[in-house]
Structure 1
Amino acid sequence: MAGNPGLRNMMTLARLAVRGVGRLVSPRPLGPQAGVAFEQAFSRLLAASPVVPHIRIARFVSLAPEDDWQSLDIDTAPGEEVTVFAAGGFWASKPLDLGFGARIGLWLRAGGSSILKTPTNTSTVAAPGGALEIVAKPPGEWADEQGAFDPEYPRGGLAGEICACVIVWKEGAVAGLEAMARAGDHEGLVGRAREEVLSPVFAPQGWRYLWRLGDGRIFRDANSADGHSICCHTSGDVGILQYPVDVPLTENTRLRWRWKVDKLPCDLPEDIQPTHDYLSIAVEFDNGQDLTYMWSSSLPEGTIFPCPLPFWDKVETHWVLRSDRANIGKWLSEEQQVRADYAKAVGAPPARIVKVWLIAVSVFQRREGICEYADIELADGERVLRIA
């Protein structure tokens, strides 16, 4: 089957269909339930006497998959703290149990600013200033950072609803959420929002999430007796962490790192869209292409394939570096000759490396992935650029 991708894909889809039948009997929710109960619960919380003095303005909004940007009729000052409670989600295929929740599909913008994704169902963000707008859509296919839709990727084929309660606080989110927590809760959302502002998860130093997929809470710095590492914990979400570099791509350019994968987010071949959940490290080049070294659950080591997702199929190539489950939970050292790998996997090599990426995808199967990265370097002869 390894040598017959078509047959393998058919078998993968058949396994998904069998699982989908079971999920129709016992469905997995996409997150907190949207609808009347959500709005009634938060209406009561907003009206609670301890909460009212903390709220400058609040709005409820219901979003469908085909909706354009919607005005919230809220003007914000730069830096004002805004909390977004979100529920519901969109289904791509209920029979295959494919869908995504509000926490990876809700976006904000204001005053011509760059788009801003709410990384959880209980996100607090600093307003960029201006008239606040909101939209729900899958991450990825944007035309620009200001939130124009890419006409090559029409938004269709989804069903469902995402509801949001958007609150602008008078004197910051901490005091407001503390008061709201004393007044009550709904599906644990208030407690999680409070915990997020009190114990935020920051991106590792020097790294930034790719704007196209939005901010996340997937990666974090960690220090132990064994030294520094970057921890990755993904569960029903997606994120790409990027580190900017400017390195010539020569015959001697090598990417070196150590990683330890404790849990893979997929147990099926990852080379089709419904199962494209994986963990990897990647290199981006000055021609816009990226080559990503992934850990597969079942594809043979050395397998090379273009990304199966729209947009990404034009710019991203996957290289299965590891798939031996006997190595799960072990620290492994890697070293790849990047120029030779690019020539084999993609074609004529470009001139420079411009970013190193860490990728975590678990949005399709909505399973959990856990890993760590350490000692990431780009080396060329005696020249070594330490990244993490």
Structure 2
Amino acid sequence: MAGDAGLRNFTTLARLALRGAGRIFSPRSLGPEPGMPFEQAMSTLLADPGVSAHVRTARLVALGAESGWEAVGFDVAPGDEVTVIAAGGFWASKPLDLGFGARIGLWLRAGGTGPIRKTPTNASSLVMESAGALEIVAKPPGEWADEQGGFDTAYPRGGVAGEIGACVIVWQRSAEAGLEAMSRAGDYEGLVARALDEARHPVPAPQGWHYLWRLGEGRIFREAHGADGRTICCHTSGDVGILQFPADFPLTENTRLRWRWKVDRLPCDLPEDIQPTHDYLSIAVEFDNGQDLTYMWSSSMAEGTIFRCPLPFWDKVETHWVLRSDPAGLGKWLSEEQPLKADYAKAVGAPPARIVKVWLIAVSVFQRHEGICEYADIELVDGDRVLKIT
């Protein structure tokens, strides 16, 4: 088995290298370019009289791949509306075409104590929750030591190159009004238009759910109501997010996770069990011992395959179970029911006592492709006891 996995991993990396070689002369962009054109465009827009009337304060910041928290240079208060418009990104491996743009790597905090907040895109507005000096950092989505923004020393950042340029604006009143004025004054690579659209049409997390703080807020999941009843729609493209629902539920021999899902498009067409190709869609259960078991739809791995997550930090807490991989099932609503205690014993080990959360996971940050799916009728069941989640 280990030999088969090793051969598969070698083959996967070889296919990635061939794809990367094919993009040497036409590499995929990480987004609008940072540097002088971006800075000049933002400075010109901020200086426009129609825009400056809405701006309390603003600053342009250049962020390196391995820098720490940087003071923006001004304070914020709870309720302040802050817009971050950013360009650029970081490369982990150009030969393998692995990189991430500013849309998933910018974090803010106030007063040096958090809580940390991620900008959902590279042109987003946030309402501040705490007071103090505003700080910003560019960091790949992943491992924090705490919600206050401490870095986990077990996962030192390194091996990435690039730059992110950010324009940080605190508005006199609303971000929407300020961005409307800015859009009348001009734009840079569509970033102002995107920021205005984000302000006008926010995408809240579905009712009762919240994004995992460790990966930050996003625009991946939204609630919908249609012919199939209430569903949660997932659309991921070059980003990552985990949606969580609190669920205090005992784990017994009879505990089942039930749901329906319709996967229209997978974010990866290679085996997902190594880091450079670990893009996938799944539903997961978190237990009271900190472990989670996630049922995923694979593009090419055999159904029933079980593997530990290949990502740092997550390799200690997450186990993947390939539940579906038949392409004939794509685009169809499918009903699932899994015996959680028996599955945990098979995949992880001695089962814990309770379930604490249900997750929806979407990862497309590595290959930067698109994933689309929907979930419905999610529930935990144990005999007559039913916890309806969606």
Please state if 1:117 is matched with 2:118: yes
- The match for 1:278 is 280
Q: How many residues align?
A: 388
Q: Deviations over 1:186-218 (max 9, x none)?
A: 111111111111111010000000000000000
Report the secondary structure of 1:125's partner residue: strand
Report the secondary structure of 1:20's partner residue: helix
* Cα distance between partner residues in 2 of 1:378 and 1:3: 38
Report the secondary structure of 1:13's partner residue: helix
* Cα distance between partner residues in 2 of 1:36 and 1:256: 53
- The match for 1:381 is 383
Report the secondary structure of 1:200's partner residue: coil
Unaligned runs of 5+ in 2: none
2:319 pairs with one of 312, 317, 320: 317
Matches for 1:1-388 after TM superposition, within 5 Å: 4-111=4-111, 112-128=113-129, 129-388=131-390
Query: Are the aligned partners of 1:2 and 1:300 in contact in 2 as well (CA < 8 Å)?
Result: no
* Cα distance between partner residues in 1 of 2:385 and 2:51: 58
Q: Deviations over 1:142-180 (max 9, x none)?
A: 000000000100111010001100000001111111100
Report the secondary structure of 2:206's partner residue: coil
Give the deviation of 1:130 after TM superposition: 1.4
Q: Give the TM-score taking structure 1 as reference length.
A: 0.99
Give the deviation of 1:66 after TM superposition: 1.1
Query: Are the aligned partners of 1:78 and 1:130 in contact in 2 as well (CA < 8 Å)?
Result: no
Report the secondary structure of 2:21's partner residue: helix
Root mean square deviation of aligned Cα: 1.0
Give the deviation of 1:77 after TM superposition: 1.3
Q: Give the TM-score taking structure 2 as reference length.
A: 0.98
Letter of the structure 1 residue corresponding to residue 122 of structure 2: N
Report the secondary structure of 1:24's partner residue: coil
Letter of the structure 1 residue corresponding to residue 117 of structure 2: L
* Cα distance between partner residues in 1 of 2:23 and 2:244: 35
Give the deviation of 1:2 after TM superposition: 10
Letter of the structure 2 residue corresponding to residue 294 of structure 1: M
Report the secondary structure of 2:17's partner residue: helix
Give the deviation of 1:225 after TM superposition: 2.1
Letter of the structure 2 residue corresponding to residue 233 of structure 1: H
Letter of the structure 2 residue corresponding to residue 52 of structure 1: S
Identical residues among aligned pairs (%): 77
Give the deviation of 1:318 after TM superposition: 0.1
* Cα distance between partner residues in 1 of 2:270 and 2:3: 16
* Cα distance between partner residues in 2 of 1:333 and 1:286: 26
* Cα distance between partner residues in 2 of 1:294 and 1:187: 36
* Cα distance between partner residues in 2 of 1:198 and 1:77: 22
Q: Deviations over 1:109-168 (max 9, x none)?
A: 002221000010111001222110000111111000000000100111010001100000
Report the secondary structure of 2:53's partner residue: helix
Report the secondary structure of 1:5's partner residue: helix
